[in-house]
Structures are given as structure tokens and as C-alpha cells.
Structure 1
Amino acid sequence: MLLNYSVDCSIRFDPGRYGAGQDKSQLHAFLGWGAGRHPCLGKRFAQYEIKAICALFLTLYDYEVVDTTGKKPDPSVTVPDKNNIYQARPKDQTFYIKYTKRSEHI
């Protein structure tokens, strides 16, 4: 039997507590995989699944970089990004990845 009922906001369940516009003092309150002594038990399995799906897509499709019209961009406009020397991008252009299903699997 409940003798004293009071609404205590600190213990009330609030499903929107991590939503946008909430308290900014807890910027990193949500950790997707968990952290510390009790991380998510399925973290490694989920990461393996993500890698396996990516590998599957890489083997099933051919990929190429195209511009907005669907044509390959001119290689002379591709310049390295000074902040990341391992990445080249078309200068002042948007580009897309065109994928086509391979006729035979690897």
C-alpha cells in the first residue's frame, strides 16, 4: 500500500531526456556502446556485423565517382585536401558515388 504519493521529478522516467534542447550540462550523457566497467556485451559482435555488411557490399557492387550529371569528373580538378593528405576531392564540386551490381561475384 502506498501511503505517501508525491511526484519527484528527479526519479520520474523521462524518455526525451536525451533529446534536442535538453540540459546542456550533460553534453555526453548518452554513450551508444556504454563505457567504463559495464560496456555493451554485444559491442564487438555488432562491430563485426557492420564490417561484414560493408565487405559484402564492396564485393557485390562496382563503385565509381561521378558528378551531378552522372559523368566521371575531370581528374585535373581533383586536388588533395590539405587537412587530410590521404583524401582527394573534386575542387568546388559536389560528387556522388555510382554503384552497379557486378555480373559475377568475387
Structure 2
Amino acid sequence: MPKFALIYQYEPAVTGPAGGEVSDWVTYDKEVRDAGVFVYEAGFHEASTARTVSVRDGATVVDDGVAASSGAIVAGLYIVDVADINAATSWAQKIPTARYGSVDVRPVVEYGD
């Protein structure tokens, strides 16, 4: 089966996690694992703890924080192994962040060994 990344983000200046959301995440995580589609998941620390690295014309620039073209920040991701993008979309709509942010559903490229 193909793998899909469910990349969740939101705009902290506009909205954010609600009280009690931790239990929603625990429920979601259990459901994904019990369904046998779980591959990997990770949440990220605050954007202020990140670094953005770019290389232009051989020069490396390192900036503190994330480079965001909009106000949205990526908060984390799940990798699921499901039949198709429709199944991945069904899992994406259950991610708690989808209620106040958004979730990108992206096919994962798998390179051979």
C-alpha cells in the first residue's frame, strides 16, 4: 500500500490548540495504531526553537526560527500506510488540528534500497 504524510499546521497568531485537545490526540493516535495504518508520527517544538538553513551561490545562511511565507507553521506529521489518497484524506480529517488549522495530504516517495 502507498504511504501518505498527513502534515498538520495552523496560524498561532490567529488560533491554536484548545483546552482538552491532548485527549483528542491520544484517541486519534490509538485509532490510527489500532487500524494498522500507523507508520510514524512526530510533533514539533515551537517554531522559535527551529533554524532555517539556505544555501545560495555557495553561501550558507542560518536564521533562527522557521521560514514561513504565510503565518502558518507546521506543527507535526503522521505517516500512514493506506490504500489510496481518499483513505489518507479520511485520516487527515480526524486530526485535531484540522478543526482550527489544516492538514496537507502528501504521497510519500519511497526510494529503493
Normalising by the smaller structure, the TM-score range is under 0.3
The structure where strand makes up a greater share of residues is: 2
Q: TM-score, normalised by structure 1?
A: 0.23
Choose 1 or 2 for highest CA Rg: 1
Higher relative contact order, chain-length normalized (CA < 8 Å, sep 6+): 2
Question: Normalising by the residue count of structure 2, what TM-score does the alignment of the two structures yield?
Answer: 0.22
